[in-house]
């Protein structure tokens, strides 16, 4: 689901608030501007100090990526690559040049262009694998921002609570105010622990999962492109690429109008 991260964060937040209300906590009691400033400001400052301006300014884009990015359609990639294998088998590799402009995925388009340009297979693999490694490294740095925030926020929350308790202990002469003051002091800890476990770490996990799926998708594309370049039978190309898919996805590709009749025709011509 495209917005699974946002929905999950919403469900977790609603469950915490609802449980508090059921315990008798009035929602306004959970709102403390001073605690919010300490936790958000302190966490933001610590992350800025650790990752620098450029990566800090990319945080809104990373939020949007975690929340809005579609999952890669591996089955569609298999079908596309098999269709290219059919075309190359019938008309030769140079015929694929006509297909390149219609490819919407930049990595696949680059790989197909390298085929048409006659790039050596070993060099082609090195180029594409290097791009995959570089992409994975960039994604790791992006997820690390939220991982660091998830580690820092609870500690900042505790610091906020300590600051509030210093104020509470300096006013022991008014015992009637101690209860509300102490409860308010712990709001900072709530914000710190809550933001870490409900927002920062889930976004981190979402980015890591998206990165892993993109790496798997590109690895599939590399194997497909090399198989096409080698002139492998389209049916063998399909079987090789299906190994990257989960069983349910394999069934959908094999039985969902993937051009099995065309593959049989190509096999007959090759025989």
267: confidence class by pLDDT, cuts 50, 70, 90: very low
Q: What pLDDT, in 10s, does the model give residues 18-63? A: 888 888 888 888 888 888 999 999 999 999 999 999 999 999 999 9
Query: In the chain, how many domains are there?
Result: 1
Residue 24 is classified by DSSP as T
pLDDT, position 163? 87
Task: Check: CB of residue 74 under 8 Å from CB of residue 256.
Answer: no
Measured distance CA(240)–CA(81) in Å, rounded:
11
Average pLDDT over residues 247-266: 60
| Start-to-end C-alpha separation, the chain | 44
Tell me which residue range forms the domain holding 181. 4-270
pTM for the full predicted model = 0.82
Least confident of 113-117, 239-243, 254-258, 264-268: 264-268
pLDDT, position 124? 94
Measured distance CA(132)–CA(213) in Å, rounded:
12
Query: And the tokens for 152?
Result: 């820092």
Q: What pLDDT, in 10s, does the model give residues 55-64? A: 999 999 999 9
């Amino acid at each position: 689901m495209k917005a699974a991260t946002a929905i999950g964060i919403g469900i977790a937040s609603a469950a915490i608030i609802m449980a508090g209300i059921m315990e008798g906590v009035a929602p306004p009691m959970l709102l403390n501007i001073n605690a919010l400033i300490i936790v958000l400001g302190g966490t933001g400052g610590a992350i800025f100090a650790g990752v620098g301006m450029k990566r800090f300014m990319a945080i809104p884009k990373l939020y949007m990526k975690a929340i809005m990015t579609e999952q890669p359609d591996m089955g569609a990639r298999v079908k596309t690559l098999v269709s290219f294998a059919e075309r190359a088998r019938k008309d030769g590799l140079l015929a694929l040049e006509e297909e390149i402009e219609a490819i919407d995925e930049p990595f696949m388009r680059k790989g197909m262009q390298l085929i048409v340009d006659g790039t050596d297979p070993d060099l082609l693999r090195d180029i594409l694998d290097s791009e995959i490694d570089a992409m994975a490294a960039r994604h790791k740095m992006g997820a690390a921002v939220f991982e660091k925030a998830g580690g820092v926020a609870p500690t900042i929350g505790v610091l906020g609570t300590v600051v509030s308790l210093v104020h509470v202990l300096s006013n022991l002469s008014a015992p009637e105010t101690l209860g509300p003051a102490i409860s308010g002091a712990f709001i900072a800890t709530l914000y710190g622990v809550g933001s870490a476990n409900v927002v920062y770490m889930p976004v981190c996990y979402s980015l890591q999962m998206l990165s892993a799926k993109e790496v798997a998708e590109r690895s599939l594309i590399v194997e497909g492109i090399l198989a096409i370049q080698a002139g492998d039978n389209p049916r063998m190309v399909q079987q090789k690429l299906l190994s990257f898919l989960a069983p349910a996805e394999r069934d959908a590709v094999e039985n969902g109008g993937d051009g099995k009749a065309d593959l049989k025709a190509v096999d007959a011509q090759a025989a």
